[in-house]
Amino acid sequence: MSGVTIQGVRKRFGAVEVLHGIDVQVDEGAFAVLVGPSGCGKSTLLRMVAGLEEIDDGEIRVGGRVVNDVEAKDRDIAMVFQNYALYPHMTVAENMSFALRLAGAPKAEVRNCVLEAARILGLEPLLERHPRQLSGGQRQRVAMGRAIVRKPKVFLFDEPLSNLDAKMRVQMRAEIKALHQRLRTTTLYVTHDQVEAMTMADIVVVMHAGRVEQIGAPLALYDEPANLFVAQFIGSPAMNVLRGTWTADGGSSRLVTPEGIVLPVDGGGPPVEAGTPLAVGFRPEHLELHDTGLDAEVVVVEPTGSETQVLMRCRGTELVAVFRERFKSRPGETVRVRPATDHLHYFETSQGRRLAAAG
């Protein structure tokens, strides 16, 4: 196994720079997820690590070895693609063993490696089938098995679950995570799905517009987002955000929005002057029903079984709440809600940077 270091990496397509000096450190044996919206540069970065895209500036090291000018086949990296990339005329066993056979490995070694990978992935009954005879989840397992038999220093996954249905994605998520816990091979995994990032990663790298917004453990990003983009991207449903002017007089502090929402903040808030433009965020699960809260009209009620998601409108501003208890109000009715003041997040509005609460 080897760690991966990405330092000052830039990428241009013609005159357009799509990666702007990326710095990421993935320790040996870690599972790192690159997450961000489509077009943020995460797949391009992964392809640069794999050797499938050239590096314009900066340095990529695998196990301390600079690989900028090393051919993809010589980097000792295995990649699992979104579309499986299986040979349709080959059996499962032949697909899994292709790289080893191409490298001239002894037949006995090839057979043992394939059988071991098949056992790990539950593919033993399928070794003589062709890809057309497999489900999407089975094909993805074969693609993973082809990577495993090579015993690489690093695994790369490029949105491997996006072609699967919702139930299969959840199952494969757990299987990939269990596989990593068993093999402990350094892994870089690209996805636009922040739920995948939260549930699978040791370390999450949030990207946006070719830059890294924040790096950290999943719950650290969820609890303490560095800026407004991370706050609203990480978490499902997304964080509610109210923008307005900070008002403080006497012992009372509050945010007043242009729509007329007045959000009291017990116990302080950030150390900013009255009149400062501010954004205040709160997670849907921290929006509570309360007799002294804000009046909000219920718009949509979505029961999921264990919880209920409720879209509501307060003075024209949409808010989303998640309730663990049964929610009895119906669309069109008015409820009173307030965010839990000990779970508020504060951001300055020019750059979206997080502000620490006072005291």
Contact 201, 186 (CB under 8 A): no
What is the predicted pLDDT for the residue at 167? 87
pTM: 0.91
Each residue's pLDDT tens digit, 244-302: 999 877 667 899 999 999 998 876 688 888 889 999 999 999 999 999 899 999 999 99
Each residue's pLDDT tens digit, 155-187: 999 998 888 888 888 888 998 999 899 999 999
Each residue's pLDDT tens digit, 54-67: 999 999 999 989 99
Nearest residue to 34 via CA among 213, 222, 181, 288: 213
What is the predicted pLDDT for the residue at 274? 86
Strand partners, 24: 6
**Residue 358 pLDDT greater than 90, yes or no:** no
Q: Report the percentage of the chain scoring pLDDT > 70.
A: 98
- Checking 112-117 for CB contacts under 8 A at 24+ apart, the result is 113/149, 113/151, 114/145, 114/149, 116/149, 117/145, 117/148, 117/149
What is the predicted pLDDT for the residue at 252? 78
**Residue 107 pLDDT greater than 60, yes or no:** yes
What is the predicted pLDDT for the residue at 55? 96
Q: How far is CA 317 from CA 259, 260, 320, in A?
A: 8, 10, 10
**Residue 32 pLDDT greater than 70, yes or no:** yes
What is the predicted pLDDT for the residue at 359? 57
Arithmetic mean of pLDDT over the chain:
92
What is the predicted pLDDT for the residue at 250? 65
Each residue's pLDDT tens digit, 120-130: 888 999 999 99
Quote the CA–CA distance of 211 and 42 in Å, as a whole number.
9
Contact 205, 26 (CB under 8 A): no
Written as one letter, the residue type at 113 is C
Give the position of tokens 């409108």. 313
Domains of the chain, each with CATH number or no CATH: 4-233 (3.40.50.300), 241-355 (2.40.50.140)
What is the predicted pLDDT for the residue at 223? 95
